[in-house]
Amino acid sequence: MSLALIGITCGMKTQTDKKIISIPEAYMQAVFKAGGLPVIIPETISPAELDGLRQRLDGLLLTGGADVNPLRFNGQPDPKVYGIDDQRDEVEINLARLAASTNWPILGICRGIQVINVALGGTLFTDILDQMPGALKHDYDSLTERDFEAHPVQLEPGSALARILSNGGAPLVRVNSLHHQGIEKVAAGLRPIAEAPDHLIEAVELPGHPFGLGVQWHPEAMPDSPQMQALFRAFVEAARKNLPQRRKDR
């Protein structure tokens, strides 16, 4: 059986005078464990090449990372905004739009859910604690282990995510929390399907899409969680169904 090819976006770091592609290994391992083959998508890829990726890759994983440029969504300036990378923003926003318009299976993680929302016309809190009254602390990144279960998330009954994580119902699932930004206004093409106790949106879906999900937490950093393993398996299985027939026949 052919492995589903999962395109994974990445960041760029500068070390002395060299630029280095950067992606945490946990994303790769999560895809491998779920039965997929990860393929790194560099941020230097040109817009003209994105359609070619759509023909060759069976699924798309938008990873976490630094902040989306607030200019992309007319966001409120905030001194905590960091790591702006306009080249990465451009590539990932175009990929998200392509996935939404062509039924390309897509999973957005942390920054990834934010990119999907911005790509489809939504907005973000550029810093949750500064701009969302009554907000919980969500930025545990430098304070704990990455798999620390910071708070519960309530899933919408009957949503794709609820079915994946609990076989239906409206469960509470405990998640890690490694971000300081989050969804403010949901894009018109998205449906919110999970929220934190402070009502911050924690997951969205593309209605009618074969697999179009974004989650605000980091499931790849919770490798021992059966629920998070189920999320990656569902994503890779949806990508496998997207395999071109010519590859299935090999």
Task: Name the strand (E) or helix (H) holding 240.
Answer: helix 226-241
Please give the structure tokens belonging to residue 247. Answer: 């590859």
Q: What is the CATH number of the domain that holds 29?
A: 3.40.50.880
Cα torsion 61, 128, 88, 41 to 10°: value is -20
Of 10, 43, 92, 110, catalytic: 110
Instruction: Note the pLDDT tens digit of each residue in 201-236.
Output: 999 999 999 999 999 999 999 999 999 999 999 999
Residue 136 has pLDDT above 90, yes or no: yes
Residues 100-111: tens digit of each pLDDT = 999 999 999 999
Catalytic residue flag (residue 220):
yes
| Distance between CA atoms of residues 59 and 102, nearest Å | 11
pLDDT at 33 over 80: yes
Report which secondary-structure segment, H or E, holds 128. Answer: helix 128-131
pLDDT confidence of residue 169: 65
**Beta partners for residue 173, in sequence order:** 153
Query: What is the C-alpha separation between 29 and 244, in angstroms, rounded?
Result: 24
Beta strand 151-155 pairing with 191-195: antiparallel
DSSP state for residue 138 in the 8-state scheme: -
Q: Shortest CA distance to 7 belongs to which of 33, 26, 34, 27? A: 27
The yes-or-no answer on residue 10 being catalytic is: no
Choose the catalytic residue: 138, 179, 209, 218.
Answer: 218
Q: Mind listing the pLDDT tens digit for each residue in 144-197?
A: 789 999 999 999 998 999 999 986 566 899 999 999 999 999 999 999 999 999
| Residue 2 pLDDT | 79
Which range of residues forms the domain containing residue 230?
Answer: 4-248
Mean residue pLDDT of the chain comes to 92
243 has a pLDDT exceeding 80: no
pTM above 0.75, yes or no: yes
Predicted confidence (pLDDT) at residue 27 exceeds the cutoff of 80: yes
Q: What integer pLDDT is reported at residue 166 of this predicted model? A: 82
Q: How confident is the model at residue 199 (pLDDT cuts 50, 70, 90)?
A: very high
Domain count, the chain: 1
